[in-house]
């Protein structure tokens, strides 16, 4: 059990380290784009615009992974996007709870799982007990 926890801790450390490298690379590419814009005499040439766009595209590619990781962890607030909060759902949770025991799957004659729509029809057909 301790080895599994140590593996999770080291995995989180590796993810943090890789995200840090990606963020540093994105900042470096943005700095190169700004340096190119400031140091060039005539910015609106084909070569300068190309180098600036390549630097900004590389910065975007390196910044995408840490941003998606933060979004998946729920640490990145996204404006204009509704959250499924318990307070907005009238006190009821929208997501199923992991601790709630799930009903065993209904199986057909061959032992395969029955689809949910068929399962609901079967439960509706059962006689209701008073």
Longest distance between any two alpha carbons in the chain, whole Å: 87
65, 28 in Cβ contact below 8 A?
no
Q: Which residues pair with 107 in a beta bridge?
A: 113
All residue ranges of the chain with pLDDT < 50 are: 86-89, 91, 93
Question: Distance between CA atoms of 11 and 19, rounded to whole angstroms?
Answer: 12
Q: Write out the H or E segment, with its range, that includes residue 57.
A: helix 46-73
Burial string for 108-123 (b: 16+ CB within 10 Å, else e) reads: eeeeeeeeeeeeeeee
Give the per-residue pLDDT at 7. Answer: 58
Task: Give me the residue spans of the domains in the chain.
Answer: 11-73
């Amino acid at each position: 059990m301790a080895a599994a926890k140590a593996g999770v801790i080291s995995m989180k450390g590796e993810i943090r380290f890789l995200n840090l490298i990606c963020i540093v690379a994105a900042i470096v590419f943005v700095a190169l784009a700004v340096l190119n814009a400031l140091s060039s005499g005539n910015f609106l040439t084909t070569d300068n615009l190309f180098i600036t766009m390549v630097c900004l595209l590389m910065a975007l590619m390196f910044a995408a992974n840490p941003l998606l990781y933060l979004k998946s962890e729920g640490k990145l607030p996204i404006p204009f996007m509704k959250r499924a909060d318990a307070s907005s759902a009238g006190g009821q949770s929208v997501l199923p709870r992991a601790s709630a025991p799930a009903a065993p799957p209904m199986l057909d004659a061959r032992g395969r799982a029955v689809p949910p729509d068929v399962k609901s029809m079967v439960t509706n057909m059962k006689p209701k007990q008073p």
